[in-house]
Amino acid sequence: MKQVFIKQGQAVVEEIPAPGVEPGTVLIRVHHSCISIGTEMSGIRSTADPIWMRALKDPRKVLKAVRMVADRGLDHTRSVVEGAMIAGTPTGYTAAGVVLEVAADVQGVQPGDRVACAGAQFAHHAEVVRVPVNLVVGIPENVDTAAASSVALGAIAMQGIRRASPTLGETFVVIGLGFLGQLTVQMLKANGCRVIATDLARDRVALAKQLGADAAVHPDDGDTIEQVVRVTDGIGADGVIITAATPSDAVISTAFRMCRRKGRVVLVGDVGLHLNRADFYNKELDFFISTSYGPGRYDNRYEEQGYDYPAAYVRWTENRNMSEYLRMLSEGKVDLKPLNMSVFPVEKATEAYEALKGEARPLMVVLQYPTTGAVSRVVLNPKGAAAGEGRVRLAVVGAGDFAKGMHLPNLKASERYHLAAVMSRTGHNAAMVAKSFNVPLATTDYAEVLNNPNIDAVLISTRHNLHASMTMDALKAGKHVLVEKPLALTKDEVRDIEELYFHNGGKQLPQVLTGFNRRFSPHMTKLRELTRERTNPMILNYRMNAGYIPLTHWTHSGEGGGRNLGEACHIYDLFTYLSDSKITNVHAQHIKPKTGYYSAQDNFVATIAFEDGSVATLTYTALGAREYPKEQMDVFSDGKVYVMNDYKRLEVVGAKVPVLETPLQDKGHKTEIETFARSIREGGEWAIPLWQQIQATDIALQVESYLTVPEA
C-alpha cells in the first residue's frame, strides 16, 4: 500500500506492507486524509535541517547519542542515527474511510461502517490504517469522507473552545485564521459568542467575516489592541483563543493585552512563550494550554488500551469531541465549503505539500486514496541481498529500537546469516528496516514468515507477552528460534514449551535459544573458565543498578511482565551458567515503598541456592543513581574474588590472572548470534541447553511470586 513519509525536507510516497488488526483496534481503508498544515509543514522544515541543528533543538537526543557512543562505539552510533534519518517519518493524524476489519474485543464498530479516525501514531496518510477503537468515530450519513477526514483538526478547535469556557454573549478574539482559526470562529458563533477575527492575511480575515465573525481587525488598520478595545465598548475581550503558529513572543503579549480584567487566554497554536509579567499580572488573567483533541490525548490507557473516562466526570473526551465535530458538520453549524478544499490523489502527495509552501497556499488540503483493489501485507525489496550459500536464512520478527540498534547491525555484519525477511506490526517500520539492511522481504504478517520455505530461523524481538506463543508457532512450523528474553511470562507457557520437546524426544524439533546474551560476553566466558575446576561451592553477588522506569511504561504492564521477568532473568541465567547446577531453593525480599513513585517489583533481593552448594544473590533496584555503573558482580571461590564491572572489566584478586578489559561494553550480543548460527549449521550442543533456559525462567517466576503476593 502507499503511505506518505517526511524525509529530508520533503514529502515522499512509498510502498509499504499494510497493517493487520490487533486487539482493541479497527482496520480502516482510508478514502481521504487531511493534511494538518501547521504541524506537518513544521515537520518538513525540521527534517531539512542539518543534524547538528536538530541536535541543538533536542539536547536529550544528544545525551542519548553520547551514551550510545560510550557503550557501543562511534561507528555503531553513526549507523543508527543515519538509518533513522534515511528512513523518514510517517506523517498525518486525521483520516476517514470504511472499516475493513475489527478485533474480536471491539464493540460498536462493524466492517463496512464509514468512520473517521485520529492519532499521530495511527491515522497516517496511508491506504490502510490500524487505529485503537477510542480514536474511531462514526460518520453521519450526510457528511462525506473528505470533510470527515478533518475530524482531528475539528476536535482540536473544539477543545480550545472548551478550555476557554465561553458563555452566551461573551466576546472572543481569534488570533490566526488558518484552518483551525476558521473552525474556531464558527464554533464560537454556534456557542452564542461575539467573535473578533484577526490575522496578517486580509483574505483570511475576509473569509472569517464571511463565516460569521462579528468584527475583524488587521494590523495595517491601526493598533490591534486598541481596535479590540473599541469594538468591545472599552471593556476588552472576555477571552482570546490563539490558533496562530509563529516563534514570535508578540502574539501572546498581544493576546493578554486585548483582554478585559479577569479575562482568559487559550493557546491552541504554537507561538513564542517568553511571558511578560506586566501583560497579565495587573488584570489577573487566566492562561490555558489546550492539549490537542481533548482529555485522553497522550494517555496510553485511554488511547491504546481502550479505557474510557466516565461521561459523568469527563464529559468531553477526545472521542466525544470528534463525534461532536462531525455532528456540527452534519447540522451545518460548521461549513467547510468556503474553505475551498484542495484534493490531491495520494500519488501526488509531494505536489500537495509543495502547494502549501507558496504564498497563496490553500487552507484545507486533502489526500484521496483508491477505494477498491487488493492491499498486500508483503512488500519485496528489489535491492535486497541474495542468500549466500551455507548461511542461516533468518527472519527478524519485531523490529523495535533494540533490534534495530543491536541485532540487525550484528546480523548484517555476520558472514553466517542471510537476512531473509523482516516482520513488524507497522508496515512503515518493516519497510524502513528492509531498505536500511538490504532485506529482500518486508511484512506485517507473521504467517508469511512461518509459511516461507526460504526461511530457516526467526529472531523474535516483540513485546514480552508474545514471546512464548510466537516461539511455539515457529517451532511447530519447523523454524529454529532465537527469542529475546523472557522466554515466557507464565508457568503454563514454560510447561507448554517443555512439553513440546518432551513429546518429541528433544531431537526432532528445531533449536530454541532464549536471548540470555550476558553468558556470551568475554567476561563471563572467562569467569566460567576460571571457576570450572573449583573444589568448593561459590558465593555469587550480583548488583543491578537498573535505573528508574516510570510505572506507566509498557515494561511494567501485561505486555512487559515487569522487570524481574523481563530483565532480571538474564542474571538467573548467569547463575545457572556459572554453577552448571540445578536449583534447590529460591527466595526473594522486596522493599515497601512509602510513595507511589517506586515499585516493590523492581526493588528486591533474590537468593538462589544450587545443588552444588553455591548460593547466589541478586540485588535489583531502581533506587540508584544513573551515574553509578549499572551491573557489577563479585564471585567468591577457593580463596579468590572475581570482580566484574559493567561488562568492561574482569579482574581476579588472590591469583596472578591478567585483567580482562574491553574498550567498549560487551554483553555478548554478537557472540550469541554467532553461536546460534554455528549450533544450527554444525549440530551438536545447543548454544544454551534447554534445561538451563527453562531453569532461568522458572527462577524468575518463583521470584515473581514473592514480589506480587503481599507479605503477612
Residue-wise pLDDT tens digits, 628-639 = 999 999 999 999
* 156-288 and 378-512 in the same fold: yes
Task: Read off the pLDDT band of 502 (50, 70, 90).
Answer: confident
> Is residue 85's pLDDT more than 60?
no
pLDDT of 108 > 90? The answer is yes
Comparing CA positions, the residue from 649, 615, 639, 607 lying closest to residue 534 is 639
Q: What per-residue confidence (pLDDT) applies to 60?
A: 63
Query: pTM of the entire structure?
Result: 0.89
Query: How far, in Å, CA of 210 to CA of 188, rounded?
Result: 14
| Structure-derived torsion over alpha carbons of residues 166, 172, 176, 182, reported in degrees to the nearest 10 | 70
Q: What is the three-state SS of 580-593?
A: CCCEEEEEEEECCC
SS3 53: helix
**DSSP three-state, residue 566:** helix
Residue-by-residue DSSP string for 470-528: HHHHHHHTT-EEEEPSPS-SSHHHHHHHHHHHHTTTTTSSPPEEE--GGGGSHHHHHHH
Q: Is 554 helix (H, G, I), strand (E, B) or coil?
A: helix
pLDDT at 55: 54
Distance CA 319, CA 302 (A): 10
Residue 293 and residue 291: Cα distance in Å, rounded?
6
Per the model's pLDDT, the better-predicted residue between 47 and 314 turns out to be 314
Q: How far apart are CA 665 and CA 657, in angstroms?
A: 21
| Beta strands per DSSP E along 53-93 | 89-90
Instruction: Look at 72-86, 395-409, 432-446 and tell me which has the smallest mean pLDDT.
Output: 72-86
- Most confident option among 64-73, 233-242, 358-367: 233-242
pLDDT tens-place string over residues 383-414: 998 888 889 999 999 999 999 999 999 999 99
pLDDT of residue 38: 77
Is 76 a residue whose pLDDT tops 60? Answer: no
User: What end-to-end distance do the CA atoms of the chain give, in Å?
Assistant: 57
For 674, the 3-state DSSP assignment is helix
Q: Say if residue 219 is preceded by a cis peptide, omega within 30 of 0.
A: no
CATH of 378-512, one of 3.50.50.60, 3.40.50.720, 3.40.1280.10, 1.10.40.30: 3.40.50.720
pLDDT score recorded for residue 402: 94
Rounded Cα distance, 551 and 548, in Å: 9
Minimum mean pLDDT range among 308-322, 466-480, 572-586, 677-691: 677-691
The residues that bridge with 520 in the sheet, in sequence order, are none
State the pLDDT at residue 8: 80
CB 563 within 8 A of CB 549: yes
For 143-165, what is the mean pLDDT? 98
User: Which cell goes with 198?
Assistant: 484577526
Confidence (pLDDT) at 589: 97
| Highest mean predicted confidence (pLDDT) among 113-117, 269-273, 359-363 | 113-117
Q: Which three cell numbers, joined as nine digits, stand for 262?
A: 479577569
How far apart (Å, rounded) are the C-alpha atoms in residues 620 and 467?
Answer: 23
CATH number of 156-288: 3.40.50.720
Question: What is the assigned CATH class of domain 2-150+304-367?
Answer: alpha beta
Residue 95 predicted with pLDDT over 80:
yes
pLDDT at 22 over 80: yes
pLDDT of residue 52: 47
**Band of residue 543 on the pLDDT scale cut at 50, 70, 90:** very high
**Which of 76-85, 282-291, 425-434, 617-626 shows the lowest per-residue confidence on average (mean pLDDT)?**
76-85
Using CA atoms, how far apart are residues 110 and 115, in angstroms rounded to an integer? 10
Place of cell 513429546: 503
Task: Let me know if 3 is exposed, middle or buried by CB neighbors in 10 A (0-12, 13-18, 19+).
Answer: buried
Domain boundaries, the chain: 2-150+304-367, 156-288, 378-512, 517-708
d(CA 481, CA 510): 8
For 517-708, CATH number out of 3.30.1330.20, 3.30.360.10, 3.40.50.720, 3.40.50.1110 equals: 3.30.360.10
**What average pLDDT does the chain have?**
93
